[in-house]
Every structure is written in structure tokens, then in C-alpha cells.
Amino acid sequence: MVVFGIICVLLLSYLLLIRPWHLHWGATKQEVMSAMPGDGIVPKPDFNATRGIGIRYRNTFF
């Protein structure tokens, strides 16, 4: 019974804390809320994830 309780706590922790963060990892709030290419293909999706990565660079040519 203790093992079942631990599994339930871990599962709830994952679903409430980690999964929401993971589905929008690296994306800004603006990116998450804005329409992306292909959003109109499926009118009511069951699953939605927006992830992003920022790349900083220095232009050395000019």
C-alpha cells in the first residue's frame, strides 16, 4: 500500500508540475499563445506542445 501511495504522489507531481513545464520548454508566453503554422489543420487537437530554443550569435562579417 505504501508503494501505491508513493507511485500516486510521483504521478501527480509529474502531471501537475513537470509535464506543463515540459510541454512549453524554452518557449516564451508569446510563442505559446500565438498561432503557429499548421494550427488550422486540426481544429480541436487533443495534444498541444510548443517548444523553443533561442540562438544568440554575433555577426562578425560587418
Instruction: Pick the closest to residue 48 from 60, 4, 1, 27 (CA basis).
Output: 27
pLDDT band of 58, cuts 50, 70, 90: confident
Q: What is the DSSP letter of 1?
A: -
pLDDT band of 56, cuts 50, 70, 90: confident
Say if pTM beats, i.e. exceeds, 0.75: no
pLDDT band of 62, cuts 50, 70, 90: low
Task: Give the count of beta carbons closer than 10 Å to the beta carbon of residue 32.
Answer: 15
Scanning 1-62, the segments in alpha helix (DSSP H) are: 2-13, 19-23, 29-33
Sign of the C-alpha dihedral, residues 44, 45, 48, 54?
Answer: negative
